Structures are given as structure tokens and as C-alpha cells.
Amino acid sequence: MSLAEAWRSADDVAEDDERFMRTALEQAKRAALEGEVPIGAVVVCQGEVIAEARNHREADADPSAHAEFSAIMQASRELERWRLPDCTVYVTLEPCIMCAGLMHQARIGRCVYGAPDAKAGALGSLYSIHADARLNHTFEVQSGVLASECADVLLEFFEVRRGEK
């Protein structure tokens, strides 16, 4: 958490978390329209959106083209640095091992996610990469922000997909 966030009230932080998660949800909805698994992500530094992304694995035939992975890479290029300790990643679904590992490598300060991922979640559901003291960096995680809305986008997408088969 940045110093500025520490001085702000919990209500202000929660309000910002919802606002930025809604931006991530818009990215997720765009992914669904493109036939991608609807996950969206936003990277915020010092209250400013630095990067927005959505899944594009199908379009790019790239297994690493996850929303949060792409957003972190975009933020690093935008800020011209690979260490992002003053940044928060907002993502609609709990990150997988690969994306949580990238957050660790980028020294992300905080991750806020919507829906938990019991099958592959690496920030509390299945693994806890963010809190593993054996690693040289830990970071704060806030889960469950707009969880129902985030889960609904995924459920709708897969209901439609199953109906097409």
C-alpha cells in the first residue's frame, strides 16, 4: 500500500476499489464480445489508470495473454520501469500462478480481485504467492470486490458457450 493510500480512509479506498474494478469489468465484457474468456484488468498508480487489458489468448494464440499479465507489461512500458511497488492491479478473477508470479516479479504493491478461482487461484484460493515468506517480496491482496458481478460475467459467457455446442 502506498503512503497516500495509508492516509486515506477505508471508505475512500473501498470506493476507489469498486470504481477501478468496474473499469476492469468493462474490459472483461469486451473480451466476451471478442470470444475470449471474460477477464479484465487495470493497473493503477497513485490514483491514475496506467494500463487496461483483457484476455486475448485466442486472438493471439498466446497462453500468456492473460488480462493481468498484459496490463502489467503495458504499465511497465508506460512507466519505463519493471518495479511497480506503488501500483495496484485490479482484476476480475483471482490470478493464476503465472500472473501471481509476475506480480511478485514486478514487485506489485497490491492486488484487488473480484471473483475467487477455486481451481487455479494463486492469491488465496489454491496458493498464496502474495504471502509466501520464502519469496523476496510479498504484497497486499484484497479479494471479493464486486465478486458477484465479476462471477456473473464469467458464468454468462460459459452458459452461452455450452449452449452453442
The CATH number given to whatever domain includes residue 50 is 3.40.140.10
| Residue 65, domain member (yes or no) | yes
> Per-residue pLDDT averaged across 71-87, rounded?
99
The predicted pLDDT at position 2 comes to: 57
Tell me whether residue 89 is in a domain: yes
Number of domains making up the chain: 1
Residue at 134 is within a domain: yes
Q: What is the mean pLDDT of residues 7-20?
A: 83
56 is in an annotated binding site: no
Q: Say if residues 43 and 66 touch (Cβ distance below 8 Å).
A: no
User: Which residues are designated catalytic?
Assistant: 68
45 among the known binding-site residues?
no
Classified as helix, coil or strand, 4 is: helix
Q: Is 66 annotated as a binding residue?
A: yes
| pLDDT over 60 (residue 109) | yes
- Asked if the model's pLDDT at residue 103 lies above 80, the reply is yes
pLDDT mean over 91-96: 99
Evaluate whether residue 71 is within a structural domain: yes
Task: Tell me the whole-structure pTM to 2 decimals.
Answer: 0.92
Contact criterion met (CB below 8 Å) for 55 and 38: yes
Does residue 20 contact residue 90 with C-beta atoms inside 8 Å?
Answer: yes
Mean pLDDT of 93-103: 99
Reduce the DSSP state of residue 48 to 3 states and report it: strand
Is residue 72 assigned to a domain?
yes
Residue 52 maps to a domain: yes
Query: Sorting pLDDT into bands at 50, 70 and 90, what band is 98?
Result: very high
Per the structure, the complete domain to which residue 30 belongs is given by: 23-146
CB 74 within 8 A of CB 98: no
CA 9 from chain centre, in angstroms, equals: 23
Classify residue 152: in a domain, yes or no.
Answer: no
